[in-house]
Structure 1
Amino acid sequence: MTLMDTVAVRVDRGAAPSDVVLGGRYRLGKQLGGGSEAYVKEAFDLQSGTTVAIKIFRATEPANDAPFRRELDIHGPLRHKNIAKVVSSGATGGEDVHGRHNYLVMELIQGQDLRTLLDERPASPRQTMEWMSGIARALTFLHRRGIVHNDIKPGNILVDFAGDPDGVGVAKLTDFGIALNGRHSAPSSSSGTPHYLSPEEVCGGKSTAASDIYSLGLVALECLTGTKAFPGPPLESMVARTLGEPRIPGTVRRRWSMVLHAMTDPDPAGRPSASQAVGMLRRLSW
């Protein structure tokens, strides 16, 4: 489980308040998730009266703050309907959080992450089309700016139901912890999540915009079927990816099958761009 896998939860209005206030503004509440580099807490913004998510990085030494700097630099400025928004940032001071820690303030999505939704049941074709085309639009926005997300998976896709609790919801991409751009190369300790890596990444190649598309294709297939395209232990799953394309069951409609085959083409050059994927996915609703 990565840090942001469980960030998207509905606000618990009955949660007991905390005595810890970051930056004189954000009163910390319950923990929402955690990983090796950071953990996330719900917080109440005393100035705006809204509830946010605070991502607090574990490192206490400036020499180890590269993960925070990467996310602040890459994710911080992004403003797009399908990307979870970073609101602010700061560093803890005298608060009772055991040392000085950098933190990001993020919007709290009123919904669930896609991993949680798929654990309950497969998505409908309409839900899959809406969610995947939304993430493809986010990738179009990123790729045009020279950014590769590098970790597309259900746990990093949040579905926001705030605007329409009974509707399809709006898919939002989050967790840019290993994203790449011209200033930040791939972290030596991580290169994405094994079950969603592209064949070129499995073979030690560079992660590119086409790699994001492949991963999104695997997520789309999982939405429709309820199961991972390459199940099993991580190593077994990665080896299977180098031996052939994902198997698309006959229960998946032919038009969907054509789109999924294109997005998961073993050859990166054969995959559609993010903007082309948006068009292909949107045409499935016709």
Structure 2
Amino acid sequence: MISKTHHCYHDDNLFNYCRTKSVEGRELKTVAKTVLQALAALHNQGLVHTDVKPDNIFINYSDNPKIIGEVALGDFGDTCHVGRNPDPNEDGHIIGAGIFRSPEAMLNLRWGPPTDIWSFGATICLKFSTIDYPIIS
């Protein structure tokens, strides 16, 4: 069972934050710990988020508006239930966003919880590096 709650994460999202501010190690740990805990909770319920990307990681600032205080994974609109022998892409639904899409999703192969981990890994690599990345749709 998924319960939707609304806590106000409106200060920014990770995409915008990383465009204007440098991210320190402590903030990276906060983001990683929170998002991975959220993904673990989903995966333990047999659910896959399918759209992990910087735009869907919401943040509130601490007392200092340059430092991340709270983090939340959001936008559960494409979350899918994965059964015992899943073929979650049987309806042709494309999951993920561009460069954050896992290889199995890009190749239209069977995917599951590891696709979220790939997407989060791509998010961390790209958003916390100093290189710009192309927008791929």
Would the alpha carbon gap of residues 203 and 124 (structure 1) be closer, same or farther in structure 2, given more than 3 Å must change? same
Alignment map for 1:48-87 (pairs within 5 Å): 75=2, 77=3, 85=5
Give TM-score, length-normalised by structure 1: 0.41
Name which of 204, 220, 225 aligns with 2:108. Answer: 204
Structure having the larger proportion of residues in strand: 1
Deviations 1:163-185 (A, max 9, x none): x32253121000011111148x5
Q: C-alpha distance in 2, partners of 1:226/1:180? A: 33
Look up the match of 1:250: none
* Residues 1:129 and 2:29 are matched in the alignment: yes
Would the alpha carbon gap of residues 130 and 107 (structure 1) be closer, same or farther in structure 2, given more than 3 Å must change? closer
Look up the match of 1:24: none
Would the alpha carbon gap of residues 179 and 226 (structure 1) be closer, same or farther in structure 2, given more than 3 Å must change? farther
Highest CA radius of gyration, 1 or 2?
Answer: 1
Q: CA deviation at 1:128?
A: 1.1
Q: CA deviation at 1:107?
A: 3.0
Aligned residues of 2:59 and 2:72 also touching (Cα < 8 A): yes
Gaps of 5+ in 1: 1-73, 79-84, 86-105, 236-286
Name which of 112, 118, 123 aligns with 1:219. Answer: 123
- Aligned residue for 2:119, secondary structure, equals helix
Give TM-score, length-normalised by structure 2: 0.81
2:21 is aligned with what amino acid? Answer: R
Q: C-alpha distance in 2, partners of 1:146/1:232? A: 32
Look up the match of 1:234: 136
Aligned residues of 1:147 and 1:179 also touching (Cα < 8 A): yes
Q: CA deviation at 1:110?
A: 4.0
Aligned residues of 2:58 and 2:71 also touching (Cα < 8 A): yes
- Aligned residue for 2:28, secondary structure, equals helix
Would the alpha carbon gap of residues 188 and 165 (structure 1) be closer, same or farther in structure 2, given more than 3 Å must change? farther
Would the alpha carbon gap of residues 222 and 143 (structure 1) be closer, same or farther in structure 2, given more than 3 Å must change? same
Aligned length: 130
**Aligned residues: percent identity?**
21
Q: C-alpha distance in 2, partners of 1:217/1:165? A: 28
Look up the match of 1:155: 55
- Aligned residue for 2:72, secondary structure, equals strand
Look up the match of 1:68: none
Aligned residues of 2:98 and 2:135 also touching (Cα < 8 A): no
Aligned residues of 1:122 and 1:222 also touching (Cα < 8 A): no
Aligned residues of 1:148 and 1:179 also touching (Cα < 8 A): yes
